[in-house]
A and B are shown apart, each in its own frame.
Chain A
Amino acid sequence: MLPGWVSLGLIPVLNLLMAFAVAGVVVALIGENPWRALVVMIDGAFVYPGSLGYTLYYTTNFIFTGLAVSVAFHARLFNIGGEGQAALGGLGAALVCLALDPYLPGLMVIPLAIAGAALFGAAWAFLPGLLQATRGSHVVITTIMFNFIAAGLLVTLLTGPLIRPGQSTPQTRDIAPGATLPKIHEIFRALGVDMASSPLNVSIVFALIACVGVWVLVWRTPFGYRLRTLGESEPAARYAGVKVPSMVIITMCVSGALAGLMAINDVLGAHDKLFLNFTAGYGFTGIAVALMGRSHPIGIVLASLLFGALYQGGAELSFEFRSIDRDMVLVIQGLIILFSGALAYMLEAPLTRLFARQRRPAHG
């Protein structure tokens, strides 16, 4: 057994360093200076005016999708459908707003729109969950298929019935100003504090509340206990009287709802409308976030911050370098999933041996 600080602290950091080292080699092969690229990314993510707001805006997306993946992980379910669930969440939020914002005050529309996002996201995860629980089709494959179906559905709706009349861009009309989530810089300016503009909005508060909610749900409720039991061993859970099929369905719904909530950050907060491909791969990034954050809310917040910085700093790369693009971030993301996910056991064995050797003399 490894000490806690090694498995929770040292190994994730080593995995991260390996991912960055390989990414650095790629940058060097391109003929640029990896160190300078790192500095540019850090400046772009934290130092330039307004950059922190952008970083935290991306962070908000990753907290939601990371939590979504992690809740399913705890039950040993792999929800790769965050992308599709988030897209449907956006559809849910947008439909509520478009239908109600001419009639109801904004303060009543917003909660309904948030509920709509969660509900549509949950519904899109419900079917894969149901099919695994009752028909035995694997949730991984069905959620992949559902991502594509969601994408097709959104294209059809946004180029057809939902498109803003009189334009050809696949997006809805703007949501009424009162029915959107306020931006953080607007709040600060109203309080008399000057702050650079950024798409950061109060969704981040909801994201942090969701973190607490997930922590309570997974570690402090009977449901969470059953969830983790199922994740440890399905036969044991069954023997202990856990109704496995309904657990699978509910867990997928919770996971889908969290992914669906990601949409409020873009649809209600940053852009005030639903547009095509707003999910932009954030659902997949959630997998990296959950793996790096070891499926714990605190870890997920830290990993989300890292990925938020990568996305915002990565955008800066394309301005500073002629031959590096922001897609470098995808390389880093893939490497992080590889090292902290697929190769998670690579370091465990040698480190276990190392620590076992150190301890033996102490016991004489």
Chain B
Amino acid sequence: MAEIWLDAMQILSSTLRLATPLILCAMAGMFSERAGVVDIGLEGKLLMGAFAAGAVAFYTGSPWLGLFAAILAGVAMGLLHGFATITHRGDQIVSGVAINILASGFTIVIGIALFAQGGQTPALTRDERFLPIHLPFADTIGQVPFLGPFYETLLSGHNILVYAALLSVPLAAFVLFATSFGLRLRAAGEAPEAVDSAGYSVTFLRYRAVIIAGVLCGIAGAYLSIAHGGGFVREMSAGKGYIALAALIFGKWRPVPTLLACLLFGALESSASRLSDVDLPLIGEIPVDIILIAPYVLTVILLAGFFGRAIPPRALGIPYVKDR
């Protein structure tokens, strides 16, 4: 029994680690999309963030400067998205596609030019990364049955960005649903003309939304390359930005359901590697690839309205034109 419990804690712990970039990116998407700006560029911002963090951490030896660079890179891409879609009222999806392709090419081209290692950054040392934090008394409490593994394996032993991701959810919920800024931001995504007539600038609100999204994607990128991983690898975002987008839709653009969706998708990913080559009773062997595509299938089914309805913000994707 105690062994199963320990196993469960380990699975949950790896789920949490795999869900961390999803949570941060999904919260990023929530700010952007709640303000009315479609964000399929999550993937590209995540990748740019990961590259900036890996490169700067390598040059400076400081993970904190790496994190800062990742945030700057995420914000820069966010501002580009804003410039195209808010200032010039360009198509938000086209702009997102452009950002994803740009990030994909840019990180490899600059990576090869700087490090000549086929698009990777050199492997980072322990000092250049965010390392797992052991909560106080983890070893001692670890001996206690049940509570011990829960504390030692699940709560303790993650790097700081995992805790930051978990913190980002209540923070996002608070900002979006309990502050007047959040109210206006959501209004910019539901009824921008009302925001305008109340005397607030839709443009400025939406710009702030894409900047916040850039910050969160940057942190997620730093997590990939200098916390979870030990260096940047080309295409290391590997579709996580899109899964986060799926989680955001799956969570119906609400913080807690989105968090749960991220954890569900993280659990699927962590179980995929565990279930490979395992013969399950009745079902037999499940191919890993089938488990890995489950998030996308589930999102399609949800979008089709077969379990609950996912209703996007009303003005999502529509550039705001001020009437004169």
Chain A residues proximal to chain B, CB less than 8 Å: 26, 30-31, 78, 80, 127, 131, 135-138, 140-142, 144-146, 148-149, 151-153, 155-156, 160, 284, 287-288, 291, 322-325, 327-335, 337-338, 341-346
Which B residues fall within an 8 A CB radius of A? Answer: 40, 80, 83-85, 88-91, 93-95, 97-106, 108-110, 112-113, 116, 119, 239, 242, 245-246, 249, 287, 289-290, 292-293, 296-297, 299-300, 303-305, 310, 312
For residue B85, which residue of chain A has the nearest CB? Answer: A342
Report how far A331 CA is from B112 CA in the complex, Å.
14
A–B pairs, 29, beta carbons within 8 Å: A26-B109, A30-B113, A131-B303, A137-B304, A141-B245, A144-B245, A146-B296, A152-B293, A153-B289, A156-B287, A287-B97, A323-B112, A324-B112, A327-B104, A327-B119, A330-B106, A331-B102, A331-B106, A331-B109, A333-B105, A334-B102, A334-B104, A334-B105, A338-B95, A338-B98, A341-B90, A341-B91, A341-B95, A343-B83
- When the two chains form the complex, which single residue of B102, B108, B239 contacts A325, counting CB atoms closer than 8 Å? B108
In the complex, the answer to whether A342 meets B98 with C-beta atoms within 8 Å is yes
Contact check, B290 vs A152: say whether CB atoms are below 8 A apart: yes
**A337 — nearest CB in chain B belongs to which residue?**
B98
- When A149-B296, A152-B293, A329-B105 are in contact, do A337 and B113 touch as well, CB less than 8 Å? no
Contact A30 B40 (CB under 8 A): no
Interface of A is mostly: helix
Q: How far is the CA of A344 from the CA of B94 in the complex (A)?
A: 10
B161 to chain A, nearest CB (A): 25
Write the nearest CB–CB distance from A220 to chain B, whole angstroms.
Answer: 28
Q: Report yes or no: B101 in contact with A284, Cβ–Cβ below 8 A.
A: yes
* Residues of A with C-beta under 8 A to B297: 145, 149
A343/B84 contact (C-beta < 8 A), A148-B293, A324-B109 known? yes
Residues of B within 8 A of A144 (CB): 40, 242, 245
CB pair A337–B101 under 8 Å, yes or no, is yes
**Which residues of A sit under 8 angstroms from B304, Cβ to Cβ?**
131, 135, 137
Bound Cα distance A142, B296 (Å): 9
Contact A323 B113 (CB under 8 A): yes
Whether A325 touches B112, Cβ cut-off 8 Å, given contacts A141-B299, A334-B98, is: yes
- Minimum CB–CB distance from A44 to chain B (whole Å) comes to 17
Which of B119, B293, B299 has the most chain A CB atoms closer than 10 A to its own CB?
Answer: B293
CA distance A155 to B290 in the complex (A): 10
Measured CA separation A175–B323 after assembly (Å): 61
Tell whether, in the assembled complex, residue B109 and residue A344 are in contact, meaning their CB atoms are under 8 Å apart: no
Q: Please indicate the chain B residues that have their CB under 8 angstroms from the CB of A333 in the complex.
A: 101, 105
From residue B62, how far is it (CB to closest CB) to chain A in Å? Answer: 24
Smallest Cβ distance from A263 to chain B, in angstroms? 20
Q: Are B90 and A345 in contact (CB under 8 A)?
A: yes
Assess whether B113 is in contact with A345, with CB atoms less than 8 Å apart: no
Residues on B with beta carbons closer than 8 Å to the beta carbon of A155: 289
B303 to A, closest residue via Cβ: A137
Of the candidates B90, B110, B310, which one forms a contact with A344 in the assembled complex, judged by CB atoms under 8 Å apart? B90
Q: How far is the CA of A80 from the CA of B97 in the complex (A)?
A: 9
- Chain B residue with minimal CB distance to A345? B88
> What is the chain A residue whose CB lies nearest that of B83?
A343
Identify 20 new A-B residue pairs, CB closer than 8 A, beyond the known A141-B245, A142-B303. A26-B106, A26-B110, A78-B93, A136-B305, A142-B300, A152-B289, A156-B290, A325-B112, A327-B108, A327-B119, A330-B105, A331-B105, A333-B101, A334-B100, A334-B106, A337-B97, A338-B102, A341-B95, A342-B94, A342-B95
Q: Which residues of A contact B80 (CB under 8 A)?
A: 338
| Chain A residue with Cβ nearest B44 | A334
A151 to B292, alpha carbons, bound, how many Å? 10
Q: Which of A148, A156, A328, A342 contacts B91 (CB 8 A)?
A: A342
Chain B residue at smallest Cβ distance from A137: B303
Closest to A148 in B: B296
Write out the residue numbers on chain B whose beta carbons fall within 8 Å of the beta carbon of A136: 305
8 Å CB contact of B84 from A288, A291, A342: A342
